[in-house]
Amino acid sequence: MTGIRALLSRRLQTRQLPGVTPGPHDFTVRRRLRVPMDDGVELLTDVYTPTGEVAPPLPTVVIRSPYGRGSVPTQAPALAREGFTVVVQSCRGTGGSGGTFEPQLNEQRDGMTTHRWVRKQPWFTGSVATYGPSYLGYAQWAVAGRMQREDPGHAPEALCLFNTMPDFGAITWDNGAFSLRNALGWSRWMDLMGRSGPAALLRRLLPLPDRKLEAAFDVLPLGAADTAASGRPISWYQDWVGHERLTDDYWTQQSHTASVPDVTAPVYMSTGWHDIFLPWQLRTYAQLAGAGRAPRLTVGPWGHIGGGEGPSFVESVAFLKEHFAGAAGTRVAPVRAFLTGAQQWHDLPAWPPPGAAVRSWHPHASGLLDPAAPDGGVTRWTYDPDDPTPAVGGPSLNPDSGPVDNAAHERRADVAVFRSTPLAEAVTVAGEPVARIRFRSSAPSADVFVRICDVHPDGRSMTVCDGIRRIGSIGTAATDPPPGEDGFREVEVPLWPAFHRFAAGHRIGVQVSSGAHPRYARNPGTGEPAVTAAAVVRAEQEISHDTALPSRIDLPVWAS
């Protein structure tokens, strides 16, 4: 088994990134260095050092990962070939490092200790940059703002962040809805990472169907789903599903959103229109831009995994060499974004681009979507948690995230569909759409899921973006909109950001339903704690098309 692991590690180390020509440097690796943390726990660390002279000196790149030091996300060999000294550390309780893995909770203190250790080493090159996607990006946010505020002499001097965010609580409980597919799927994966034996190794490395995981998605209560998937409770999953309020100390202690504006180092960001962290990453961009330090930003037509690794690497290397080695700039504008629908890259001065203005579209009882206000009526459907409205596509941890055809899905009785007439001219959406749905439910708790689609002349209804909002739950009680005298509430649903052109002759489609299972855990409807709720109730759902208080979809339309 040791030989198999070594062979796989070597293959990962030599894997060439798509579209990337390896750099000119050879390198050496010192493995399994033991770096002591402030409580005496030792974290295993590898150091990649390019051979030969690197002039001018490039920063030492610090990467902290829970996925193993030789895993693809670190991209350490490729960085070393470009002349960077690279420090790759396994997070506490992973990859042979000491201690217990408690996702997010230890990354700030361990990261700060590691940064101080790096600057004392004889191979330190004089400056530090951080690098990495997803959890590796979260580990960067955990350190950067606080160190800049409290210990600026040891703070990183540049950040390269891909498909990430500084507060994983916000995605775990997305507007009150539990992100089951991501939370349970990732927990199952990480639990397997911590197990030994050939079966666990093959399950981690091969794209085999995971029937236990698929079955566990349908288990109620949610607090039993991890045992159904993995045969035992997973401690952090229990913490996640047991803390519905993002104001709980459990979540606030691991949120680094408030420290984002403290980051003064230059930042490069890359993400995709179908990434699981997209809304929050663009909001951190806005935080830095509001502080006068807008990052360099790329948004491409990819999801969380696949498609963006090569471009992100190439642009990060160019970004770091510009800042630390005086290399010529490679970008013509601070923001580079892919316009879906038109299949074009655009260079922009900022995100969202200047000139975007909100235009409201109203769903009508007839099924029409139109700028004109509706003339009354109600749209009704029944939501049955025993036959939950399924997820069709949408951002996920799978490599196949992207637009899908919703035509068959929209024929379900529990999906309300509204469509515009064919567009006389193209409409470009650039920003974060917001749905404001006048909604009433017979159940104590309900979800409002809204998706915008591009309806093609041939009948395809292709995903553009979507979003969800739960009401009547423990986690949303403080922010639930009050009902009016008629029982309807205006439920505000922020949708995923989009940069999409609806071509002339296409129609804008909107669907409203009460879930997208298992992307989001079904709402049992009782309002009971999610961790223990096992009983379910069918719910009669209604959308009001009242003329005076109409439901609407606010689209940021860009006149390009």
Spatial CA neighbour of 46 closest among 22, 20, 16, 12: 12
Spatial CA neighbour of 556 closest among 354, 362, 369, 270: 354
Spatial CA neighbour of 551 closest among 457, 436, 434, 473: 436
How many whole angstroms from its chain centre is CA 460?
Answer: 27
Q: What 3-state class would DSSP assign to 183? A: helix
Spatial CA neighbour of 284 closest among 249, 313, 258, 251: 258
Tell me which fold the domain 356-558 belongs to: Jelly Rolls (2.60.120)
Record the pTM: 0.94
Contact 291, 262 (CB under 8 A): no
Spatial CA neighbour of 103 closest among 198, 205, 14, 171: 171
Contact 132, 63 (CB under 8 A): yes
Give me the torsion for CA of 108, 113, 116, 119, rounded to 10°.
Answer: -100
Structure tokens, 222 = 């949610």
Contact 394, 409 (CB under 8 A): no
Q: Which residues contact 354 (CB under 8 A, 6 or more apart)?
A: none
Burial of 454 (0-12, 13-18, 19+ CB in 10 A): buried
Q: Which residues contact 268 (CB under 8 A, 6 or more apart)?
A: 158, 159, 160, 161, 295, 296, 297, 315, 316, 319, 320
pLDDT of res. 2? 39
| CA dist 71 → 90, 197, 267, 301 (Å) | 10, 19, 24, 24
Structure tokens, 206 = 């091969």
Positive or negative, the CA dihedral 493, 515, 102, 305 is negative
Alpha helices by DSSP H, listed for 151-299, are: 168-172, 180-193, 198-205, 211-216, 225-230, 235-242, 249-252, 278-290
In the block, residue with structure tokens 């566990």: 216
What are 468's strand-pairing partners?
Answer: 449
Domain with CATH 3.40.50.1820 in the chain: 2-176+244-347
In the block, residue with structure tokens 């009242």: 546
* Three-class SS of 450-515: EEEEEECCCCCEEEEEEEEEEECCCCCCCCCCCCCCCCCEEEEEECCCEEEEECCCCEEEEEEECC
pLDDT of res. 122? 97
Q: Give the span between the Cα atoms of 450 and 498, in whole angstroms.
A: 14
| CA dist 189 → 67, 230, 276, 487 (Å) | 10, 9, 17, 43
Q: How many CA atoms lie within 13 A of 138 on its CB side?
A: 21
| The CATH number of domain 2-176+244-347, selected from 3.20.20.70, 3.90.1150.10, 3.30.70.20, 3.40.50.1820 | 3.40.50.1820
Say how many C-beta atoms besides its own lie within 10 A of residue 99's C-beta: 17
Contact 241, 530 (CB under 8 A): yes
pLDDT of res. 138? 98
pLDDT tens track, the chain, 560 positions: 334 344 444 444 445 677 788 999 999 999 999 999 999 999 999 999 999 888 899 999 999 999 999 877 789 999 999 999 999 999 999 999 999 999 999 999 999 999 999 999 999 999 999 999 999 999 999 999 999 999 999 999 999 999 999 999 999 999 999 999 999 999 999 999 887 655 545 555 555 679 999 999 999 999 999 999 999 999 999 999 999 999 999 999 999 999 999 999 999 999 999 999 999 999 999 999 999 999 999 999 999 988 889 999 999 999 999 999 999 988 999 999 999 999 999 999 999 999 999 999 999 999 999 999 999 999 999 999 999 999 999 999 988 888 999 999 999 999 999 999 999 999 999 999 999 999 999 999 999 999 999 999 999 999 999 999 999 999 999 999 999 999 999 999 999 999 999 999 999 999 999 999 999 999 999 999 999 999 999 999 999 999 999 999 999 999 97
Domain with CATH 2.60.120.260 in the chain: 356-558
Strands 427-431 vs 539-544: parallel, antiparallel or unpaired: unpaired
Contact 160, 139 (CB under 8 A): no
| CA dist 17 → 72, 73, 74, 76, 405 (Å) | 9, 10, 12, 11, 30
DSSP assignment, residue 546? Answer: -
Q: What 3-state class would DSSP assign to 6? A: helix
- The type of residue at 2 is T
In the block, residue with structure tokens 């039993």: 224
